[in-house]
Structure 1
Amino acid sequence: MPVLRRSAVLLTTVCTAAATLVGLGVAGTASAAPCGNAGLLGSSPLGNAIGNAFGSFGSSGGPLLGKSSSQGPLPTVNGGNTTPVAWVTGAKSPNNTEARFGISGTDLGIAWDNGTGQTLMAFGDTFGNCNAAGQQWRHNLILRTTDTNPADGVTIGNGVPGDVRSGAVVGSGAPTFATESIPALEIAGVEVTTIPTAAIAIDGKQYMNYMSVRQWGGPGRWVTNSSAIAVSSDNGQTWATQPQTVRLNLPVTVPGVEQVDDSNGKYQQNAYLRGHDDPYIYQYGTPNGRFGAAFLCRFLPGNILDLSKYQYYTGDSDPTKTWSPDTTKSKAVVTEPVSELSVAWNNRLQRYVMLYGNETTGNLVMRTATAPQGPFSAPTTLLTSQQLGGVYAPYIYPSNGGNDQYLYFTASRWLDYNVMMMRTDLSRIPVG
């Protein structure tokens, strides 16, 4: 969807819904301090999504980045089954993303195999020089790597203007500044930011599911306008939102945008999974924020952009009724609270592995199942808030470097507002 058309749709949507949302008691603006400031871009603060069980600070605490960057050394964890391996981003990472890409702080790092020998990584709200105008805020961006051995982190090559396989998308006038992938209106109460939540490659194209955040609320809570799929035919260099994939999360109807039903709210943040010995791609969804359950739907790869072809898990024991095209029949496969999840098949365990954060406890947890719909095992704790506070968003990395004893995943830390590679020793994980 062209930027102007997308902006018009969003403005129409949120303006029509404004009175209704006020009546529902949507939280007002709350400022954050990603660069040591009281807010961001004047009327468009990031908000107080930071300030939660994961140890973040919010507007009442300290800065995430400080005046330039307050990233610390790679933290250590004593004991347990999971340990940090290396910083992926930040000035203190081996990639030195501050100098090479203008990235002093960012989060997420959703990683996926692009199908042609590279791993692509999608990051959320990103900042550069905190003393520059707007702190060089980008709502999201893509980095690329050919590194298949995450045992010592991942190496990201230089960005090369016009090179769709280089380490970052950069322009000829700024070859050391990674550019934004999906824009946002930057209007508080309309659209504050756009954040990737899942991505997958199908037949040479890249598909990224993202959420449009209307308003940050209290700790771990925010309101979305919608989720949608953007497509790239040039390896993440450019992206185009597909209007037919928009799942509105507002009580309005927009002409030209197919409305499914109120169950759109179950799929505002997502995770993709390729079935093992199975033709389907599965999409796990959660509501906006960090307190919802996880739901499940599936589709054949060629139907990713056609929501009418999706099938939703109903939980019905009758195998002829287990999957339905009716979104209202979509039942939870994991109970709340589930936040920022990822799922992948694991050869060592011969099970599907799900990682996510528990907002109530501040822990990162793992669950396993022999089928995408479960039943999933009881959660195994990978990292507690006491071991390493403020860590969130565990996204499974698509390579283990040839050593299946370890599961690698990226995770973000509020204190440093950067992404690190983590490693879990699967020999210490009970499988039941």
Structure 2
Amino acid sequence: MGMNRRLGAALLSGVVLAVSGIVPAAAAPAPTRAEPVALLAGQGVGDVNQTRDRFAVHATDLGIMWRDGRGRTAIMFGDTYGAGWGGNGAGPETADWRLNVLAHATDSNLADGLRIDSMVTDRPGHAAELLHRDPSVAEVTVIPTAGVSVGARDVVHYMSIRGWNPWTTNYAGLAYSDDGGRTWVKDPALRWPNSGGAARFQLGAFVKDGGYVYLFGTPQGRFGAAHLARVPEQRILELGAYEYWTASGWQHGADGAVPVFGGQVGELSVQYNTVLRRWVALTLDESRAAIVLRTAPAPTGPWTGGRVVVRGSDFPALYGAFLHPDSAHRNEIYFAMSQWNPYHVKLMRLRLDESLPEPNLLSDGGFEDRPVNAGTGPWAVTGKGGVDYGKGLAHTGSNNAWVRESSGWHAVTQQLAVRPGQRYRLSGWVRTSATNTDGYFGVRRAAGVLAEHKFGHLGEYTKLTVEFTADTSEIEVFGGAWALDGKDTWMQLDDVLLAPA
């Protein structure tokens, strides 16, 4: 996905501290994980497509998929390398580097892999670069992020990369093809500049539904929230026709767009699943080095917190998870997933009905959706704290969060998106040392605390509840304590739940 692009999600490590010794609670059952089916492109075990020999594709990434204007599965990959590739991440410029390439497939039996029928080529046996550099800007590469067809026309959302360190875009744009993907038009009028509200749509995910094309967008990089736009299908190439989801509904102009789900949203893919009758999203959560699953009853939400379906501990340096179009009509979904080392793309499979997230807007509210000693993500720590793994200190399951110190403020927090004007209920289970007199559990936003529950000594786990009406689109849930007068003070937190009241 870039010449000097930062590595995919790295494995995280954390600290463990037990603050008391009670009998362990029973561990919660592990959620279903996705499993690899076969290699889709590049080199490695399970290579069913032989892209090296057939198309001079030795290494590549991404693999955004859509049903194209001719009824095929279109698969567009990112930075692609041929002869001379170094075998570790992106190759040198001399390694037959192409910024992007496009494959087509008609295979619908995905249980043994997705067979590629053809790739767009510029000479026999050589996949062609299709979206070229923009000579008007400083640009490292051109990366596809989403694709959709409207009638016979194919449309791709792409990002113009200024640099990878830090990850910076010039703009995001639309390219279209009217000849089955052989040639593409990059119209300068079809761009979201990396400024103002448009900066929220630098990476995208397209979904067609009810006569509209929905565009989920995130800022450059992997650490921003997801926003939402829509446009009538036949007007997809009219940026002035796009409406953006705001605190008061749909409005023209990206500056008013508010998040539909938050956290660290990396490359994303979204579908409406007709079997479950729910919207499904896969994204990278860099804080957990994992691909996570979210669902919602509508594109505007409320979206559940992300539940891990692939871990970086199992597939190091993973990133990107792009749904196959047939997955929209199955309870077993397939998606393309990249790994930085080796630099290739796997087809993955997940039993969706066995993996649905709980109806919690928070991610990992029970601190269980993580390997041992993985760190605190998606939670953050202010001061001194972490997660106890299997220490017998949890309210339920095996794990819980903790803070402990003899002075200052210490808390665990999580940021997420909510709908302004909606009433919510936050609950969690808290236990403290006898020295605690100044603990707080609640919600805040940039303007300060929105609602909180103050607590003192809680000798046993006690359920605390806070209700509030959101007055902004982004909030932070917190649980913490002030350690006063040099007294050793600790708090344990578990089973945190946020849902519409």
TM over 0.5, yes or no?
A: yes
Q: Which of 65, 80, 89 is 2:41 aligned to?
A: 89
Structure 2 residue 181 is matched with structure 1 residue 246: no
1:266 to 200, 210, 234: 200
Task: Give, in angstroms, the shift of residue 420 of structure 1.
Answer: 0.6
Match of 1:104 among 58, 61, 79: 58
What secondary structure, in the 3-state scheme, does the structure 2 residue paired with 1:244 have? strand
Give 5+ residue unaligned stretches, structure 1: 1-33, 35-44, 57-77, 158-166, 251-261, 317-321
Aligned residues of 2:64 and 2:336 also touching (Cα < 8 A) = yes
Is 1:341 matched with 2:268? yes
Matched, 1:193 2:114: no
> Which whole-Å deviations, capped at 9, do the CAs of 1:31-90 have from their partners, x for residues lacking one?
xxx9xxxxxxxxxx822x22353469xxxxxxxxxxxxxxxxxxxxx9842100000012
Alignment of 1:248-397 (within 5 A): 248-249=193-194, 262-275=196-209, 278-316=210-248, 322-397=249-324
CA distance in 1, matches of 2:243, 2:93: 46
Q: What is the match of residue 465 of structure 2?
A: none
* Identical pairs, percent: 34
More strand by share: 2
> Contact 2:201 / 2:216 at 8 angstroms: preserved in 1?
yes
Residue in 2 aligned with 1:53? 9
Residue 185 to residue 279, structure 1, CA distance change in 2 (3 Å): closer
The ranges of structure 1 where at least 4 consecutive aligned residues each deviate by more than 4 angstroms after the TM superposition are none
The answer (yes or no) to whether the contact 1:195–1:212 under 8 Å persists in 2 is yes
Q: Structure 1 residues 391 and 133 mapped into 2: Cα distance closer, same or farther (>3 Å)?
A: closer
Answer whether contact 1:91 1:104 (CA < 8 A) is retained: yes
TM superposition shift of 1:116: 2.6
TM-score, normalised relative to structure 1 = 0.73
- Normalised TM-score (structure 2): 0.63
What whole-Å deviation, never above 9, does each CA across 1:282-320 have from its counterpart, x for those lacking one?
A: 10110111111100010101111111111110133xxxx
**How many pairs does the alignment contain?**
333
SS in 2 for 1:86: strand
The one-letter code sitting in structure 2 at the alignment partner of 1:128 is G
How far the C-alpha of 1:169 sits from its partner, in A, is 1.3
Task: Give, in whole Å, the separation in 2 of the partners of 1:308 and 1:382.
Answer: 37
Give the deviation of 1:170 after TM superposition: 1.6
Structure 1 counterpart SS, 2:74: strand
Q: Contact between 1:185 and 1:192, CA under 8 Å: does it hold in 2?
A: no
Name the SS of the counterpart of 2:112 in structure 1.
Answer: coil
Shift, 1:400, TM fit: 4.2
Q: Choose which of 132, 135, 159 in structure 2 pairs with 1:183.
A: 132
The secondary structure found in structure 2 opposite 1:263 is helix
Instruction: State whether structure 2 residue 152 is matched by structure 1 residue 204.
Output: yes
Partner of 2:395: none
Aligned AA (1:244): A
Partner of residue 120, structure 1: 74
* Structure 2 runs not aligned, ≥5 long: 13-29, 86-91, 360-501
Q: Name the structure 1 match of 2:325.
A: 398
CA-to-aligned-CA distance 1:83-126 (integer Å, 9 cap, x gap): 00000012341111011100010000001001433100010000
Is the counterpart of residue 233 in structure 1 residue 178 in structure 2? yes
Corresponding letter in the other structure for 1:343: V
Q: By how many angstroms is 1:371 displaced?
A: 0.5
Contact 1:186 1:193 in 2 (8 A): no
Please identify which structure carries the higher helix content.
1
Kept in 2, the 8 Å contact 1:185–1:193? The answer is: no
Aligned counterpart in structure 2 of residue 168 of structure 1, from 116, 119, 124: 119
How many Å apart are 1:350 and its aligned residue?
1.1
Relative contact order higher in (CA < 8 Å, ≥ 6 apart):
1
2:231–2:242 CA contact under 8 A, matched in 1: yes
**Aligned partners of 2:212, 2:170: CA distance in 1, in Å?**
28
2:338 corresponds to 1:412: yes
Counterpart-to-counterpart distance in 2, 1:426 and 1:109: 21
User: Within 1, Cα distance between the matches of 2:338 and 2:93?
Assistant: 25
Q: Which residue of 2 aligns with 1:141?
A: 101
> Which structure is larger by alpha-carbon Rg, 1 or 2?
2
